[in-house]
């Protein structure tokens, strides 16, 4: 990269106001240039192939494809493009999964503009940039203790559905659903199903 060549950026966030604000802030930096903006995770790869960005700044929760799945897809389709996750949801589980998907950095949206621009530069240079508080929490929390079925059951239980409704939705017996819920409650250290959903959600275990 020559000194005169700006760092080309792709922004993906389903909130147009947030995306626009990020673009405006980053475009103020002389060495940064926003070349693409999308509002869906399943639009990331095509936008990257059209515009050849150096760094993609992706939100986590987006329609079409979440930011972590979009990260993995982008790393496969355009390995030269590095990924920086910029999200409201600063959850340890999200951080771990983002790194596993191939992201080079993970910061929260209230990061000061100057620090965000510096994070972009560092990611472009091949370095890893991770919010230090989240990094510590991620190490402390460990990987998800839930099985795939327990995860599916808790995810389906987010809206407070009955056991019968969950059984129909998941094509399981009511007894199996109760067993999955009971196991998930025990593994998360919760006292109720709703608390188990909250704890798992806060740790990023239910994204997918």
Render pLDDT for 33-59 as a digit per residue (tens, 0 to 9): 999 999 999 999 999 999 999 999 999
- Kindly provide the residue ranges of all beta strands, DSSP E only, lying in 116-184, ordered along the sequence: 129-130
Please give the torsion angle defined by the CA atoms of residues 97, 80, 73 and 157, in that order, rounded to the nearest 10 degrees: 20
pLDDT tens for 141-189 read 667 788 889 999 999 999 889 999 999 999 999 999 999 998 888 888 8
Give the list of residues 6+ apart from residue 56 with CB closer than 8 angstroms, or none: 9, 10, 11, 12, 44, 48, 74, 81, 82, 83, 84
pLDDT tens for 82-126 read 999 998 867 767 887 888 899 999 998 888 889 999 999 999 999
Q: Name all domains of the chain by residue range, CATH numbers in brackets.
A: 7-140 (3.40.50.2300), 148-202 (1.10.10.10)
């Amino acid at each position: 990269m020559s000194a005169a060549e700006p760092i080309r950026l792709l922004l993906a966030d389903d909130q147009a106001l947030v995306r626009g604000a990020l673009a405006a802030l980053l475009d103020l930096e002389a060495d940064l240039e926003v070349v693409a903006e999308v509002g869906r995770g399943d639009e990331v790869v095509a936008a990257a192939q059209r515009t050849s960005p150096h760094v993609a700044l992706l939100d986590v929760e987006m329609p079409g494809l979440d930011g972590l799945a979009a990260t993995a897809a982008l790393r496969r389709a355009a390995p030269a493009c590095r990924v920086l996750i910029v999200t409201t949801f600063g959850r340890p589980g999200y951080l771990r999964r983002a790194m596993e998907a191939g992201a080079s950095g993970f910061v929260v949206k209230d990061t000061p503009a100057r620090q965000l621009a510096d994070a972009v530069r560092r990611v472009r240079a091949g370095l890893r940039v991770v919010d230090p508080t989240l990094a510590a929490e991620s190490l402390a929390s460990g990987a998800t203790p839930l099985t795939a079925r327990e995860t599916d059951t808790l995810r389906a239980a987010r809206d407070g559905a009955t056991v019968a409704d969950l059984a129909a939705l998941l094509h399981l017996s009511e007894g199996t659903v109760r067993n999955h819920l009971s196991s998930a409650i025990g593994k998360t250290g919760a006292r109720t199903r709703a608390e188990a959903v909250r704890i798992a959600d806060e740790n990023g275990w239910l994204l997918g």
